[in-house]
Structure 1
Amino acid sequence: MKLGIVIYTPEAETAWNALRLGIFALKQGDSVRLFLLARGVECEKLDTERFAVSTQMREFLGLGGDILACGTCLKLRHSEGSELCPVSTMKDLYEIVRDSDRVVTF
């Protein structure tokens, strides 16, 4: 299955759970692409004592997942892309939605 995940939340627990789903799907042999939108582009900075979001992001990438971050949303936050949040476009989000068998949002 091709799974698309869109994270737009600034809440650590929700983002952490979205990444857990993506990691699980990758371990099942599925293809997973993740798009960070709106405040979701802040994901790598959401780490708390209980929810290591950036660690989950690294594991997701290590398993072959793909993470993209909205360039406009990053600019609005005076931020640049990074290894965990590479700059992308609405075209990339469109392609994730178009090409995925299922898309879930968090």
Structure 2
Amino acid sequence: MKIGIIIETKDYEKSWNGMRFAVTAEKSGHEVRVFLLGEGVEIPFMHHETFNVGSLVNEFYEIGGELFACGTCMNTRMMKESELCQVSTMFECLRMVEWADKTVTF
């Protein structure tokens, strides 16, 4: 199955659960794409003792998951591109939703 995941929060536990879901789905043989939107673009750099979101983002990247980040959302936060995720647009988000059999949002 093709699964699109939109993460639009930087809440540690919610974004951690979103990335746990992405890693689990990818490891289970599904095609997974994650789109980071709004404050969600900050999660690749978040570290927490219990909810280490950044390490899950790295794991997802290392196992071949596709990760995209809204360029406009990054610009408003004065963030620069990372090797972990492609800077994208709302058109890319739309393409992901159209591509996916199912889309979930965290």
Shared fold per TM-score greater than 0.5: yes
- Tell me the CA shift for residue 44 of structure 1: 1.7
Q: Percent identity?
A: 44
Matching residue's letter, 2:86: P
**Stretch moving more, 81-90 or 65-74:** 81-90
Deviates more, 1:76-85 or 1:59-68: 76-85
Query: How many corresponding residue pairs?
Result: 106
Query: Structure 1: 5+ residue runs without aligned partners?
Result: none
Is the CA contact 1:11–1:46 (under 8 Å) kept in the aligned structure 2?
no
Structure 1 ranges of 4+ moved more than 4 A: none
Which 5+ residue runs of structure 2 have no aligned equivalent? Answer: none
Residues 65-93 of structure 1, C-alpha deviations (whole Å, 9 max, x = no match): 10000000000111111122331111110
Q: Which residue of the partner structure matches residue 44 of structure 1? A: 44
State the Cα distance separating 1:19 from its structure 2 match: 0.7
SS in 2 for 1:83: coil
Matches within 5 A, 1:1-106: 1-106=1-106
